Amino acid sequence: MGFARSFARCFTWWDGQTFATQFWTWRKGQKVGVDAGGNIFYRNADDSRRWVIYNGEAEASKVAPEWHGWLHRTWDEPPTTAPLVHQPWEQPHLPNLTGTVDAYAPKGSIRGKAPVARSDYEAWTPE
């Protein structure tokens, strides 16, 4: 690990854990499980704290609903010991795709193409 990456880990949290979080996890953390996205979930010995170490960028929408419920104490048992029963109509979890090429673009949106000239609209221009 280079100096710049090590220095950045002291102060930034959005692209992985900081040294302080890594140290806390090493000393107090009990690994509970890993989700399909590679995020690792921990709790301390008395279960008063629960946390996640993200795989890559720290983006809360990357946490699947079953792990979100455990993190926020909606249920006590983690999905590793009490898996949620999924209905056949449920779709797999996707993180927030806003700002990516996979983001939703409704019909008629201008993302990726030039705007269509319209005869029913005249743009305002200041004098």
**How many separate domains does the chain show?**
1
Residues in the chain: 127
Q: Which domain holds residue 60?
A: 3-71
Arithmetic mean of pLDDT, 43-58: 91
The 10s digit of each residue's pLDDT in 72-105 is 999 999 999 998 888 999 988 888 888 888 888 8
For residue 61, being part of any structural domain is answered with yes
In a domain, 59, yes or no: yes
Question: Three-state DSSP class for 53?
Answer: strand
Q: Is the pLDDT of residue 19 over 70?
A: yes
pLDDT at position 127: 81
Residue 102 lies in a domain: no
Give the per-residue pLDDT at 7. 60
120 in any annotated domain: no
Q: Is the model's pLDDT at 63 over the cut of 60?
A: yes
Question: Is the model's pLDDT at 53 over the cut of 60?
Answer: yes
The pTM score is 0.68
In this prediction, residue 9 has a pLDDT band, given cuts at 50, 70 and 90, of low
Say if residues 95 and 57 touch (Cβ distance below 8 Å).
no
Q: Does any domain span residue 107?
A: no
Q: What confidence category does residue 1 fall into, taking pLDDT thresholds of 50, 70 and 90?
A: low
SS3 assignment, position 90: coil
Residue 32 within any structural domain of the chain: yes
Reply yes or no on whether the pLDDT at 13 is more than 60. no
* Token pair 């995020």: residue: 39
